[in-house]
Amino acid sequence: MTIDLSQFHDAFFDESFEALDAMEAALLQLDAGSPDPEMINTIFRAAHSIKGGSATFGFGEIASFTHSLETLLGELRDRRISVTQRISDALLKSVDVMRELLLSAKGKQPISMKFVTDLQSEIELMIEQRETLDAPAPVLGTVAATAPADAVEWDIALRPGPDFFAQGIDPLRIFRELAALGALEVTAHLDALPDCRTLEPARCYLRWSLRLLSPAPEAVVREIIAWVNADCTVTRAGHAAAAHPAPVVPAVQAGSAAEAGSIRVGVEKIDELINIVGELVITHAMLNQTSRGVTGPVGDALRSGMQQLERNMRQLQESVLRTRMLPISVVFSRFPRMVRDLAQRLEKQIELRIVGETTELDKTVLEKIGDPLVHLVRNCVDHGVEKSALRAAAGKEATGTVILKASHRGGNVVIEVSDDGGGLDPERILAKARAAGLVGPHETLAPEQIQELIFAPGLSTAETTTDVSGRGVGMDVVRRNIADLGGKIEVHSERGHGSHFVITLPLTLAIVDGLSLAVGDQTYIVPMTSTIESLRLTPSQVTCIADGREVFGFRDEYLPIVRLYKTFGLTPRTRVLHEGLVVVVEGAGRRIGLFVDDLLSQQQVVIKSLETNYGRVPGVSAATILGDGSVALILDVVDLIRIASLREAA
């Protein structure tokens, strides 16, 4: 019976990408000269696993390239080659090449092989340059005259299938690794070899008998041949072959068995569960509102049951949301390599410290926060940390530090990006902003307002435009992308002592804590993450300026008042400021006061996409369904501030 191996492809690709991430992380910790042997073994095992799986599934290009890489790693593991900067760079490039090869194989897309073959040739040249000097060759046909006293004699039978060579497997590589364990004798059996007229070059007609004299334990011997897709047995000389290994199963199956405590579930199934839980939240709110009108013993029993239902529903909600949670290390893992390469290009010495990488965040948020973090980290490396000479002149350590930190704070996740570089230069930022027309020639700004200018579109403080920075795009995109996730970003900087960026994000985008506001006969929801304070103003606190706009004093600054009934064209219950309430909200680094009729309650609401079901509405980010079945709009604070700014400009 023929097994359809394509059913294992998804698992193979998932595990291969995980192995590549582990391989890259280990390579970044590799010390030149005398590396940690366990680190080399970790890298070797990752490459070994990918090679075996790719050969099994017929991905010959991946198996061929990984074979050359594995040979180099074998030389490093056996200490026949020392780790140098050139080798370290080549190994990291190999990770990139393998990732591209896997992506092209997964998407069934062609890939340009020139870069692959060039790097493969460079790796093979490194091996040849070393092997021509003193690398021992495998002894074929004879056993070495001397052997350790504790050596054991092993008989190995290798009987490959006809597609052995087509899978990119090189038997000489196997023999070389076995010869490194001790004295090896190899006998090739040619009885199945046809004459030249019927011989197929890509077909394997050979089988081999090997005798190894080595003190190595049996597990080490078996590990070398474990991945080979062939009938292979290992027995100790003089012992019966009591435990022949079965034909090797695909590497992904072995990996799956090791993870028997978990299963892979499609994201769409989790999303469907979250949607159902969201509908339960809405249904519970409706039932809860209905139960308030029921009196007597029946009403008491109904409300008691509703409380129990609410507890169970919240547990279910938290459990389902946890299934979408992933550690933020999924995003953080890309930065050690990026900082290393960027620091080398800029000729800087930089150490990256990562704190709180086990902090969990919703998968959707993780997918969208990666690009903003890349911009921030690149800016810290390029603009923030100075070169060693400048740092020494300023009395600092020659090596700069960039810190990535994640933590939970209340119902949010806080991500901090900081550096110990030169910090933001307020005079330079202000001069650039005035030159770009973002600030008036005689306008005076507070230090915090000047720092906020780095998020303005088109503003860059770089002296020259490079492939790293200087085009004035990036930081405004960072703020917009974070705002789209329902989060906010703050910057704190001190000249000469570095910069500190703080990103606050909701744990999930499916359900949000909101404050319900009454405006006329409508109810609106403002996210709690954007809410600062609510207050009732007195007439003396409000000031009307020349153009008719209204502002009020709030914590040593004046904030504009946005009357929501005007924004949405409603008839309010009151137009007098001191008879209603003002809710101070924050977004995009600015604050405004929203004038509403009343505050209703704080509650959890299920987010429903307005653009998917209806269309884009200015000042509104999404919608939700309330307990009485009515639809309430969720306010987009950043867009409301933008609308208010446009009115100011007009």
pLDDT digits (tens, 9 = 90+) for 320-333: 777 878 888 888 98
User: How far apart, in whole angstroms, are the C-alpha atoms of residue 648 and residue 559?
Assistant: 12
| pLDDT-derived band at 268, boundaries 50, 70, 90 | confident
- Between residues 602 and 458, which one has the greater pLDDT? 602
CB 332 within 8 A of CB 357: yes
- Between residues 638 and 343, which one has the greater pLDDT? 343
Asked if the 5-134 domain carries CATH number 2.60.40.1180, the reply is no
- Residues 6 or more apart whose CB falls under 8 angstroms from that of 416 comprise 403, 404, 405, 406, 407, 500, 501, 502, 503
**Cα-based distances in Å from 326 to 259, 357, 362:** 17, 10, 6
In the predicted structure, residue 467 carries a pLDDT above the cut 60: no
Confidence (pLDDT) at 145: 39
- Between residues 452 and 597, which one has the greater pLDDT? 597
- Asked if the domains 327-506 and 511-649 are classified in one and the same CATH topology, the answer is no
CB 158 within 8 A of CB 189: no
In the predicted structure, residue 141 carries a pLDDT above the cut 70: no
Confidence (pLDDT) at 120: 84
Would you call 99 exposed, middle or buried from its count of C-beta atoms within 10 A (0-12, 13-18, 19+)? middle
Confidence (pLDDT) at 150: 65
| pLDDT-derived band at 148, boundaries 50, 70, 90 | low
Confidence (pLDDT) at 353: 93
Asked if the 152-255 domain carries CATH number 3.30.70, the reply is yes
DSSP label at 166?
T
Question: Which amino acid, 466?
Answer: T
In the predicted structure, residue 258 carries a pLDDT above the cut 60: no
Which stretch of 51-65, 398-412, 524-538 has the lowest confidence by average pLDDT? 51-65
pLDDT in tens, 1-39: 455 667 778 778 888 888 888 888 888 887 776 677 788
In the predicted structure, residue 460 carries a pLDDT above the cut 60: yes
In the predicted structure, residue 405 carries a pLDDT above the cut 90: yes
In the chain, what is the greatest distance between 2 CA atoms, to the nearest angstrom?
Answer: 106
* Domain 327-506 in this protein, CATH class: alpha beta
| pLDDT-derived band at 472, boundaries 50, 70, 90 | very low
Helix (H) or strand (E) segment spanning residue 650: none
What does 180-226 look like in DSSP terms, one character per residue?
A: TTSEEEEEEE-TT---TTT--TTS---EEEEEEEESS-HHHHHHHHT
In the predicted structure, residue 260 carries a pLDDT above the cut 80: no
Confidence (pLDDT) at 188: 87
Own/partner long-range contacts of 537-546 (Cβ < 8 Å, ≥24 apart): 537/577, 537/578, 537/582, 538/578, 539/577, 539/578, 542/577
The distance of Cα 544 from the centroid of its chain, to the nearest Å, equals 49
Q: What average pLDDT does the segment 447-476 reach?
A: 67
Sheet of 620-625: strand order equals: 598-606, 511-519, 522-527, 631-635, 620-625
Confidence (pLDDT) at 565: 92
**Cα-based distances in Å from 232 to 64, 162, 179, 224:** 21, 14, 17, 11
Q: Map residue 562 onto helix, strand or coil.
A: strand
Q: Where are the domains of the chain?
A: 5-134, 152-255, 267-324, 327-506, 511-649
Q: What average pLDDT does the segment 192-198 reach?
A: 82
Closest listed residue to residue 617, CA positions, set 632, 603, 605, 628 = 632
User: How far apart, in whole angstroms, are the C-alpha atoms of residue 605 and residue 527?
Assistant: 9
- Between residues 642 and 592, which one has the greater pLDDT? 592
- Between residues 518 and 148, which one has the greater pLDDT? 518
pLDDT in tens, 270-302: 878 877 887 887 788 788 878 877 888 888 888
User: How far apart, in whole angstroms, are the C-alpha atoms of residue 34 and residue 36?
Assistant: 7
* Geometric angle at alpha carbon 349, from 346 and 354, rounded to 5°: 110
Backbone φ and ψ of 30, nearest 5°: -75, 125
Own/partner long-range contacts of 283-291 (Cβ < 8 Å, ≥24 apart): 284/309, 284/310, 284/313, 285/603, 285/626, 285/627, 286/627, 286/628, 286/629, 288/627, 289/627, 289/628
Mean pLDDT of all residues in the chain? 80
- Between residues 480 and 532, which one has the greater pLDDT? 532
Q: What average pLDDT does the segment 345-366 reach?
A: 88
Q: What average pLDDT does the segment 549-570 reach?
A: 88
Helices and strands: H and E segment counts in the chain: 20, 22
In the predicted structure, residue 255 carries a pLDDT above the cut 90: no
Q: How much of the chain, in percent, has pLDDT values that exceed 90? A: 12
Q: Map residue 111 onto helix, strand or coil.
A: coil
In the predicted structure, residue 55 carries a pLDDT above the cut 50: yes
Q: Map residue 250 onto helix, strand or coil.
A: coil
Confidence (pLDDT) at 499: 92
Kindly report the pTM of this predicted structure: 0.60
**Cα-based distances in Å from 276 to 17, 245, 320, 514:** 32, 48, 10, 20
Q: Map residue 599 onto helix, strand or coil.
A: strand
Q: How much of the chain, in percent, has pLDDT values that exceed 70? A: 85
Most confident of 136-140, 267-271, 497-501: 497-501
Q: What average pLDDT does the segment 386-410 reach?
A: 89
Topology of domain 511-649 in CATH is: OB fold (Dihydrolipoamide Acetyltransferase, E2P) (2.40.50)
